[in-house]
Amino acid sequence: MKQVAFLFPGQGAQYTGMGKDFYDTYKESKEVFELASDILSLDMTKLIFEEDERLHITEYTQVAMVTTMTAMLMAVKEKNITPAVCAGLSLGEYVALYQSKVLSLKDVIYLVRKRGIYMQEAVPVSVGTMAAVLGLNNELVEEICANTEGIVTVANYNCPGQIVISGEKHSVEAAKISLEKAGAKRVLPLNVSGPFHSPMLLPAGEKLRKELEVITINDPVIPYVANTTAEYITSKEPIVDSLAAQVSSSVRWQQSVEKMIANGITTFVEIGPGKTLSSFVKKIDRTMQVINIEKIEDLDKLDAL
């Protein structure tokens, strides 16, 4: 029998109109958009389905993405597939928390809105930035970051040969020069509004911790893999610390996928806009079966499971 993992992508995959076919077709999907609109006093259909520049501003992007992914998940649930484990890249971890029944949908929407605001406010615009590093191994990138003046650290371990760095703008630019000299194929600046998953986001994590401490957190019914440790989480005890640390810590995505494969996962189902995580999984282990659910017609792919 196939062992299935549900994956949920992070910020950056958003686009106008994402999830509209699910909204139009599935009652449960539509109700997710309506719930988010009610909780936040924010018209999610206008934000997501119409041209709206706010969609690409972190404090709005995050809740738009989570609303859309959860709406898609509602349709996937009708296929009666129970994953053995869940995982999400950065922001996507919150949808994994909902699927694992750690958090209610209402609390996920509330927390993600707060998370986006705190992350946006943590660092003034243009002070920090991020860049993707292609073609170098993890250890060399870590070493160069450690030897660069100022704040620059690994933000994401995505897949072999693809790492994202984050920190002060001048430090990221200095590291870029060193990384290219060391043989990086390319170092690509990312179009982001802040130095996410760097120590510069520590204040955002502390604000988020205060929100988490008054939210009801349950033991996972289905285990999920934490970004910060790439370990299976099976009890509620480490969750507050993990989520508070997540915004300023490295996302260990490659290690998370490797952990799931080592635990017997053979099929990965990516639920959300784009195919980024599907691509990462294939680069980590091309023998894995990968399915992405982005449009309603993609649901037919699940019939083979």
pLDDT value at residue 304: 85
105, containing H or E segment: helix 105-122
Same domain assignment for residues 226 and 114: yes
Cα dist from 248 to 11, 103, 123, 154, 190, whole Å: 15, 21, 12, 10, 17
| pTM for the model | 0.97
d(CA 261, CA 267): 9
Cα dist from 104 to 78, 94, 109, 203, whole Å: 19, 10, 9, 25
User: pLDDT tens digit string along 246-284?
Assistant: 999 999 999 999 999 999 999 999 999 999 999 999 999
Same domain assignment for residues 232 and 156: no
d(CA 101, CA 221): 6
Residue 194: inside a domain: no
Same domain assignment for residues 134 and 230: no
Yes or no: say if 11 and 281 are a contact pair by the CB < 8 Å rule: no
Please give the residue range of the domain that contains residue 223.
4-122+199-304
Same domain assignment for residues 149 and 277: no
Same domain assignment for residues 283 and 156: no
Nearest one of 288, 298, 234 to 3, comparing CA atoms: 288
Same domain assignment for residues 77 and 183: no
Judge whether 197 counts as a catalytic residue. yes
User: pLDDT tens digit string along 86-116?
Assistant: 999 999 999 999 999 999 999 999 999 999 9
**What CATH number did the domain enclosing 162 receive?**
3.30.70.250
Q: Spell out, as residue ranges, where the chain has pLDDT lower than 50.
A: none
Same domain assignment for residues 215 and 79: yes
d(CA 151, CA 128): 9
Judge whether 171 counts as a catalytic residue. no
Final residue in a domain of this structure, among 171, 189, 207: 189
Burial class (CB in 10 A: 0-12, 13-18, 19+), 262: exposed
Choice among 100, 178, 197, 250 that is catalytic: 197
Same domain assignment for residues 155 and 68: no
pLDDT value at residue 1: 61
**What CATH number did the domain enclosing 108 receive?**
3.40.366.10
Strand, coil or helix: 149: coil
